[in-house]
Amino acid sequence: MQTILSIGIDAFAYGMALFIICIGLSLTMGLMRVVNLAHGAFAMIAGYIASYVARDLGWGYGFAIILAVIGTIILSIPLERFLFRRIYGSSELTQVLMTIGITFCVIGITNYFFGPTLKTIPLPTGLSQPVDVGFRTIAAHRLFVMACGLVVAAGLWYVIERTAFGIKLRATVDNAAMADALGVKTQVVYAVSFALAIGLAAFGGVVGAEFLPIEPYYALRYMVTFLVVVSVGGAGSILGAVIACLVLGAVDTTGRYLMPDFGNFFFYAAVIAIVCVFPRGFFGKAQ
C-alpha cells in the first residue's frame, strides 16, 4: 500500500512537471503545425538562467523563475522572426531537421558559456522541507509542482476557451486565410502563441529541474520524451496532454520502482502500443 502511494505521488508530480513543459510543445504542434524539437532547448536555456540567478547571484527562487521565463522569451523572439517563421507550413521532415539544428546550436553555445557540468537551482527553505499531509509526508516541492501543473492546465483552458484571444487563436488554427480576411492579425496571433509556448517551456524547465536535471545534453536527452508525450496525447489538446503525461508518468515511474533494470523499456513499449491504437493520439484532431 505504501509503495502504491509513493508511486502514485511520484508519478503525479513527474507527470505534472512533464505536462508544464509539453503543453507548450503541444500548442506549437497542434495550433501552429510546427514540430518544434528545439522545445527542450528553451527549457534548458531557462534552467541555465534560473541556476545563474538563484545560485550565482543569490537572488530568490521566485525571481529566478520570472527572470528565466522573461529571458527565454526575449531570446526566442529573434529565433521565431528569422528561423521558425520560414518553416511554418513546410513538411515535417524539414521542420524536424531545422529544429534539430537549432537544438544542436543551443547545446553547443550554452556549453561554451556555462561549461559541461550539471547545474542546480537551489530551492528556498519552504519548498525543500517535507510537508505532512495527514497520511504521510511529501516533499513540499512536489506539491508545488503539482499545483503549478493544475494552475497551468486551468489557465490555458480558460485562455483558449473563454477569452477573445482564444477565439482568434482557434479561428486561425481552423482556417488561417479566412481568419486573416476577417481581420484577425494572424501573424500577431502566431507570435503571441509562440511566446506563450516558449514561456511555458521555460517555466516547466525551471520548476521541473528536480525531475529532469539541467545538464548539457538536456535538450537532446528529453527531446524524444517531450515529442512522445505530445503525439500520445494528441497535438493541441490540453486534456490529451494531461492524460498522456499522467499515463506515461505512471508507466515510467512504476517501471522504475518495480523493475529498475528495464530502464525505459516499458515507457517505449507503452508508446508503441498507444500510437498503434490511437495514431492521432488520445484527443488529436483529424487533419
Partner 1 sequence: MQTLAQSEKLAAAPSLGSRFLRDAIGIAAIIVAGIAGYFLFPDNLALLTRVIAVGLLVLSIDLITGYCGVATLGQAALFGAGAYAAGIACVNGVTEPLTLILIGAIAGAAAGLLMGTIMLRAHGLAQLVLSIAIVQLFHEAANKASAYTGGSDGLAGLMLSPLFGMFEFDLWGQTAYLFGLALLVVVFVVLKFVVASPFGMLCRGIKEDPVRIGAMGAFVFPVLLKMFVISGAVAGMGGALAAISTQVVGLDSVSFELSANALVMLVLGGLGSLYGALIGTVIFMGFEHVVSAINPFHWMTMVGALLIAVVLALPGGLSSIADAILPSRGRTRGGKA
Binding site for partner 1 (CB under 8 A): 29, 35, 83, 86-87, 92-94, 96-98, 100-109, 111-112, 116, 216, 220, 224, 227-228, 231, 235, 261-265, 268-269, 271-272, 275-276, 279-281, 287
Nearest approach in angstroms of CB 9 to partner 1 is: 26
- Which value, in Å, is the radius of gyration of the alpha carbons in the chain? 19
Tell me which residue has cell 508511486: 7
Alpha-carbon gap, residue 201 to 186, rounded angstroms: 22
C-alpha span between 30 and 23 (Å, rounded): 10
**Residue placing its CB nearer to partner 1 in the complex, 97 or 143:** 97
Question: Distance between CA 110 and CA 98 in Å, rounded?
Answer: 18
Distances (CA, A) of 86 to 80, 134, 237, 244: 9, 54, 25, 30
We find the least distance from the C-beta atom of residue 44 to partner 1, in angstroms, to be 13
Nearer to partner 1 by Cβ, of 200 and 274: the residue is 274
With H, G, I as helix, E, B as strand and everything else as coil, classify residue 138.
strand
Based on CB atoms, which residue is closest to partner 1, 8 or 108? 108
Which residue has 525551471 as its cell numbers? 206
Residue 256 C-beta: closest distance to partner 1, Å: 13
Minimal distance in Å, beta carbon 50 to partner 1?
21
d(CA 81, CA 84): 7
- Closest separation in Å from C-beta 271 to partner 1: 4
35 versus 145: smaller Cβ distance to partner 1:
35
Give the residue with the Cβ less far from partner 1, 102 or 145. 102
